[in-house]
Structure 1
Amino acid sequence: MRVTKPNWVQHTVGEKKAKCPIYSISVHPDGTRLATGGLDHKVKIWSTLPILDQEAENEEQNPKLLCTMAAHTGSVLSVRWAHHGRFLATGSDDQVIMIWGIDPDGGGRLWGSDEVNVENWKALTRLVGHVADVVDLAWSRDDSMLASVGLDSTVWLWDGSTFERLRKLDLHQGFVKGVCWDPVGAYLATQSDDKTVKIWNTEDWSLVESVSEPFKTSPQSTFFRRLSWSPDGAFIAASNAKNGPVFVGAVIDRDGWGSEISFVGHENTIQVAAFNPRLFFPQGEPKGRATASTVLALGANDFSISIWRNTLHKPLVVLKDIFGADLMDLCWSNDGHHLYGSAVDGSICAISFEKDEFLDLAEEGDTDIVLGEYGYEGRMGKRGKAAAAGAGALGPTSSAPSVSTSFGPTTTTSTHVNVLQPKKGKAKRRASFLPPAPGGGGTNGFHPPSHTHTQGRDPFSGPIQGSSSQVGLEGQRMLQNANAYPTSPRTGDKRKAPSPSSPKHSSSLFRPAPSTSSSQALTQTLGTGADGGGAVRAAFQRGYEQGRAEAMEEAEVEVRGMVERERKGIEEAAFRRAVEMVRKEGGGR
């Protein structure tokens, strides 16, 4: 395993080009490009070649930054490539979704900047529907639909080729901060600050289930609640869950939507979950649901990443303090060998696994065999054919697509994801996640006795020491390799907050923390009466818990303004009602 942190991958603000948060990251299906979105309102596309290959990084002929797109007017909170690779969808706190496509005529200079684009990605369309920050996006596996969620508590569905608005789902009672598709295409899952994961039927968009048990005591201070569906369709890994005082990653079983298994060990809220898109089969065993296993990555606000396999009680590897601030997003490459992450400190990381570390990694098409039990017809089945036609994608019998870079693909480039042949196969339903170890309390991870993680004990001390009884041979190899690479980019206090010089954010979701006195002042201002339905107080409290003190005055002024506008509206409404009453009484005499 190799960990890379390229310091040249960054978003900057101000005359001094200060690094700013990178809220989202997504790798292109062919593995050659990496898209990032940041607080600077920009979307950037990077070559993965110099990230993954040190020799290529030092060669001047290999471009690093391929394109910078500046159409958004707010922080870019989500970037997601379509599976066919033709489109990139981006969501922002400007309430807009942009769909980007490459211009084959080449690059050019970014307006108002010295940056020169190697590739020219143009905004193809602008999707308007949300009335607040667009927080997360997800393409269906066949690219026939795009789902978006936001702080207006709604879920929007868009056609994947015409980009027409198809449906609005509004049953959530809080900010919606995560969305993922069932790989079979039968369901959509969304996660919200209302402390539920909702499962929707994609045929009629009825609500199938609202899962709340793992999230009843979850904090509302996280930027995101990114969740992920396993590639075999059997499980959902949800973020921001708690089991008593313990922070966990919850596992929701497709069979009944129960949540009896969880991943334990992180010292703070888990903000993002991301399944490896490939399945794993023991060598020499038949490929089917009974033998398939999955790998999951979790990113948390303890600045660490843990990587798990559902057949083991312990994580394969834990990368502690890999970032200097909260982790915002994770994504796996389509070949299953590379994991990318981004964080509030303005940096990214790339975690690469060698072939001998993932010996039982399945071929891409093997996933379709397992999904066939649920009636999956392949990525080009049903709506997928129409979506591919609308995107100009190739059919199963066509040659490989040619969305190529000027510098050529990396050695890990896989075949295009839309060139899969539909396959079906029957097998027994495989067992659930590994049963808990004695005293494990229904979890799939290390459970510190008496919650000792709250007492300063390393909750991952077992697996990080590489005990064969805890990790297994595969985990030992990874941990030995990990020890050869420093995973902490910082010195000093391991829980040091981001620098006070970090740029401010205008969105209510990311408002920096005010002082205690300003919080008391706000309470005095609001009193015990109406405060806009409690939303202002809740937003202020989240900002207080999550933000930074350098914007105290700005946050207080902004929140006071929100309250004042709300009160003026109430006063005006009361005045109008009084006038109407007097008129009616006068007319009745």
Structure 2
Amino acid sequence: MSGSVDNQCMIWDVATGKVVQILNDHQHFVQGVAWDPAGEYLASISSDRTCRIYARQSAPKKSKKRKITAVESLFTCRQVLAKTEVATPTITTTTDGNVKAFKAQHLFHDENMPSFFRRLAWSPDASLLIVPSGLYKMAHDAPSFNMTYIYSRKDLSRPCIHLPAPSKPVVAVRFCPAIFALVKNVAEKDMSSGFSLPYRLVFAVATVDSLIVYDTQRNCPIVVFAGIHYAAITDIAWSADGRYVAVSSQDGYCSLLAFSKDELGTRLSCNEAPANVSSCLPETVLANAQQSLTATSAEMSLVSEPGGLVDHDQSPPDAACPRPLRYRRITLAALPASLPPNVLEQPILPISISVPSPSPLKTRKITPVALAEDSR
């Protein structure tokens, strides 16, 4: 999934490189997209001050009169996160007490936020969605605070936790791909994080000029990095083992932050993690990728012609217009018995590409011409 400055989100088929669906609900630049690890939801956020949640719709029954194509809608907008209600000053006093009205307040910054990015993120277990660029008011006439909103998968209509940010807006959120065991002997005052997970998730929140690392067990940050770049921070990336965090900036540099072994906690292995999250661990993802690669490498692509293999030593009839080669994918089990035994051991000839050298620059003399003054 990708977002662009034409106010659209595009869902791509990686195998074919084609667009499967275009989502054009936003009214301004799309500055962040996130795919639910469970494959059920998509999330996008734009500078139009909205965050949209798309849900996978059930496939319609195939009709004989109408063919179902891949370009048809796969996801539909399920939720629009845009405003919340805040209390206004008292407008009426009755015998029952004060009556207060409520006014809608925007949840997110507008297009004047000093960043081109609003990178939201799903947790590895798909239970949480964290959205940056928040703007929060406790009352209608109260000052605004920069905020990071945490949404629970059970209720994506309103945030369950507000994480206040320093003086600058939040531009990116990234979860550590590793999952950690709960920390023992944590002070009771630090345990009211609002989560009741049997494990710990660690995530980083980047503002314009700082990086804050949290976990889901404590209500205070683990560490805060500030003043590491001369310009605005643009993105965050975790290593697979959770020991390194890369931070990019508009100043053209990347900072690499390192944690010592077990500094963030004890990592859970695939056997120790719950079944619903073990498939999201980097070890499982890598094992599945290697398995897929092994299965793919069992198939071989051979250059073939209807009459047999192509002879690379034989020049085409017309050198100016070479004959296009046709490819046919066959498996090892489908190899014809008439092929020579050493056909698979033949070396692949390198392809030489000639690039014309640029013509040298030529200097020429330019005669200056005096401009006539205005006769008036």
Common fold, TM-score beyond 0.5?
Answer: yes
- Contact 1:368/1:378 (8 A) holds in 2: no
Alignment of structure 1 residues 421-500 onto 2, 5 Å: none
| Other structure's SS at 2:262 match | helix
Alignment of structure 1 residues 291-370 onto 2, 5 Å: 291-301=198-208, 303-363=209-269, 369-370=275-276
1:219 to 104, 107, 110: 110
| Other structure's SS at 2:151 match | strand
Aligned counterpart, 1:168:
22
Greater C-alpha radius of gyration: 2
Aligned counterpart, 1:59:
none
Which of the pair is proportionally richer in helix? 1
Deviations 1:96-140 (Å, cap 9, x if unpaired)?
A: xxxxxxxxxxxxxxxxxxxxxxxxxxxxxxxxxxxxxxxxxxxxx
| Other structure's SS at 2:148 match | strand
Aligned counterpart, 1:117:
none
Q: Does 1:206 align with 2:95?
A: no
| Other structure's SS at 1:152 match | coil
Alignment of structure 1 residues 47-446 onto 2, 5 Å: 147-203=1-57, 204-213=74-83, 215-220=106-111, 221=113, 222-244=115-137, 245-257=144-156, 258-282=158-182, 290-301=197-208, 303-363=209-269, 369-371=275-277, 394-395=290-291, 398=294
* CA deviation after TM superposition for structure 1 residue 397, in Å: 9.5
* CA deviation after TM superposition for structure 1 residue 371, in Å: 4.0
Aligned counterparts of 1:192 and 1:296: Cα–Cα separation in 2:
22
Amino acid at match of 1:256: D
Aligned counterparts of 1:186 and 1:308: Cα–Cα separation in 2:
26
Aligned counterparts of 1:191 and 1:271: Cα–Cα separation in 2:
11
- Number of paired residues? 237
* CA deviation after TM superposition for structure 1 residue 324, in Å: 1.0
* CA deviation after TM superposition for structure 1 residue 394, in Å: 3.6
- Contact 2:108/2:133 (8 A) holds in 1: no
- Contact 2:37/2:122 (8 A) holds in 1: yes
Deviations 1:322-371 (Å, cap 9, x if unpaired)?
A: 11111001011111111101101111111111123133222367667234
Aligned counterparts of 2:50 and 2:274: Cα–Cα separation in 1:
30
Deviations 1:280-334 (Å, cap 9, x if unpaired)?
A: 22279xxxx8412211111111x11111112211110001111111100101111
Amino acid at match of 2:132: S
TM-score (norm 2): 0.57
Aligned counterparts of 1:354 and 1:267: Cα–Cα separation in 2:
29
| Other structure's SS at 1:355 match | coil
For the structure 1 residues 161 and 359, does the alpha-carbon distance in structure 2 shift closer, same or farther, using more than 3 Å as the test?
A: same
Aligned counterparts of 1:229 and 1:252: Cα–Cα separation in 2:
10
For the structure 1 residues 193 and 368, does the alpha-carbon distance in structure 2 shift closer, same or farther, using more than 3 Å as the test?
A: farther
- Contact 2:45/2:52 (8 A) holds in 1: yes
Identity over the aligned pairs, expressed in percent? 25
* CA deviation after TM superposition for structure 1 residue 219, in Å: 3.5
Aligned counterparts of 2:129 and 2:222: Cα–Cα separation in 1:
19
- Contact 2:244/2:258 (8 A) holds in 1: yes
Aligned counterparts of 1:378 and 1:278: Cα–Cα separation in 2:
6
Amino acid at match of 2:291: G
* CA deviation after TM superposition for structure 1 residue 378, in Å: 9.8
Deviations 1:53-109 (Å, cap 9, x if unpaired)?
A: xxxxxxxxxxxxxxxxxxxxxxxxxxxxxxxxxxxxxxxxxxxxxxxxxxxxxxxxx
- Contact 2:182/2:217 (8 A) holds in 1: no
Aligned counterparts of 2:293 and 2:83: Cα–Cα separation in 1:
46
Deviations 1:205-251 (Å, cap 9, x if unpaired)?
A: 11111112375351322211111111111111111001121111111
Alignment RMSD (CA, Å): 3.0
TM-score (norm 1): 0.37
* CA deviation after TM superposition for structure 1 residue 274, in Å: 0.7
Deviations 1:511-541 (Å, cap 9, x if unpaired)?
A: xxxxxxxxxxxxxxxxxxxxxxxxxxxxxxx
- Contact 2:82/2:108 (8 A) holds in 1: no
For the structure 1 residues 346 and 354, does the alpha-carbon distance in structure 2 shift closer, same or farther, using more than 3 Å as the test?
A: same
Aligned counterparts of 1:333 and 1:315: Cα–Cα separation in 2:
20
For the structure 1 residues 213 and 276, does the alpha-carbon distance in structure 2 shift closer, same or farther, using more than 3 Å as the test?
A: farther
Aligned counterparts of 1:397 and 1:153: Cα–Cα separation in 2:
36
| Other structure's SS at 2:44 match | strand
| Other structure's SS at 1:370 match | helix
Q: Larger relative contact order (C-alpha < 8 A, sep ≥ 6)?
A: 1
| Other structure's SS at 2:34 match | strand
Aligned counterpart, 1:408:
none
* CA deviation after TM superposition for structure 1 residue 189, in Å: 0.7
